[in-house]
Amino acid sequence: MSADVGYCRVSTADQNPDHQIDALLRAGVDRTNIHLDKASGAKASRPKLDLVLQLLREGDALKVTRLDRLSRSVLHLVTLGAELRERKIGLHVIEQGIDTDTAEGRAMFGMLSVLAELQRELILANTMDGLASARARGRVGGRRPRLSEDQAALAQELYDARVKTVQQIADLFGVPRSTVYGHLNKETTVPRQPKTSSAGRG
């Protein structure tokens, strides 16, 4: 039997989640199936979201009030959307009218994918320009082996999506592996789960 699972997120412990909870209840989610994270900052762990992704099964639907409650990064959002689609799980965004069970909803995610790819290319292009400038000044890699906020977000997405290893990400940005590890979300970095097919799901 399919189920609707609701997810809420507030940025600080002081923010009131009632608006999100009420919207999910009106959308047909049972109160016992609503999960709330209190997280601030892009790198903060979200244990309830991790739990929700474990609970969801083929035919279920994940419901949120807005996309920014689910993710602050377009890249992460697209990766998550692709995972849900692969697992045949619907995504319903109540206030923004997105439902991936419909052609319009799938088209919306397609547009997000294009924007995410553009964002990724721009970050990489800026990184390459910066490295070229540093080399021209005789400083390979530059003096500050740090990643910008956009680069750190991209490094996390490349790692989470298992597109590149930490060493490959470090090479891409011209920084040591330790710098990449310093920016990765420790909650998702250790342990790293191998990519598996959905054939063995019960």
Taken in order of first residue, the domains within the chain and their CATH numbers are: 4-101 (3.40.50.1390), 117-189 (no CATH)
Predicted pLDDT at 19: 93
Closest C-alpha among 20, 132, 116, 130 to residue 76: 116
Predicted pLDDT at 154: 80
**What's the whole-model pTM score?**
0.57
Token representation of residue 107: 């088209």
Which of 11, 45, 113, 148 is flagged as catalytic? Answer: 11
The strand order across the sheet containing 98-99 reads 34-38, 4-10, 61-64, 90-93, 98-99
Q: What does each of the 202 residues of the chain score in pLDDT, given as a tens digit?
A: 789 999 999 876 668 899 999 999 999 999 999 999 987 655 567 889 999 999 999 999 999 998 888 876 777 777 888 888 889 999 998 988 888 888 888 787 677 667 766 766 777 777 777 666 666 665 554 445 577 777 787 888 778 777 678 888 888 877 888 888 887 875 554 444 444 444 444 4
Predicted pLDDT at 59: 93
3's CB contacts (< 8 A; 6+ apart) are: 33, 57, 60, 61
142 membership: H or E segment, kind and range: none
Closest C-alpha among 119, 71, 116 to residue 93: 71
Predicted pLDDT at 98: 84
Predicted pLDDT at 113: 64
Is 11 annotated as catalytic?
Answer: yes
Token representation of residue 133: 């400038």
For 36, phi and psi rounded to 5 degrees? -120, 130
